[in-house]
């Protein structure tokens, strides 16, 4: 029974990351100013060659029974010619589809 519950948890996590990936990819091709308007000021900005990288970080604490664990998400957008050209993300806190409207690109960004 525990294996079935664990398998269901793993599958639901994959669906969540797929949803977050759709959200992040929906920003590809938009102007940098629009990204900043919806996500806010980035946590970090780095430049390399012709690209700028805007990084947004979120960190939270979760309780798993009696164990407290730090969960994070770092989302990075690559900017060239003032437009988003790619994105990446990593961490266990990368979710938020329920807070996102694909039609209006309204999103509550990571805290």
- pTM summary value: 0.69
Q: Which residues of the chain have pLDDT under 70?
A: 1-18, 95-111
Angstrom distance (rounded) from CA 11 to CA 97? 16
Check residue 49 and give left, alpha or beta (phi > 0: left; psi -120 to 50: alpha): left
Q: What is the structure's pLDDT at 2?
A: 38
Q: What is the pLDDT of residue 21?
A: 85
Rounded to whole angstroms, the Cα distance separating 26 from 84 reads 10
13 neighbors 19 (Cβ within 8 angstroms):
no
Q: Residue 87: its pLDDT value, please?
A: 94
In eight-state DSSP terms, residue 31 is: B
């Amino acid at each position: 029974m525990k294996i079935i519950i664990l398998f269901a948890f793993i599958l639901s996590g994959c669906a969540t990351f797929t949803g977050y990936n759709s959200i992040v990819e929906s920003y590809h091709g938009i102007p940098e100013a629009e990204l900043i308007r919806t996500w806010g000021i980035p946590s970090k900005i780095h430049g390399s060659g012709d690209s700028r990288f805007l990084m947004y970080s979120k960190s939270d604490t979760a309780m798993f029974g009696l164990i407290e664990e730090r969960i994070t998400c770092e989302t990075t957008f690559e900017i060239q010619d003032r437009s988003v050209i790619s994105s990446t993300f990593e961490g266990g806190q990368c979710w938020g589809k329920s807070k996102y409207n694909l039609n209006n690109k309204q999103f509550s960004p990571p805290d």
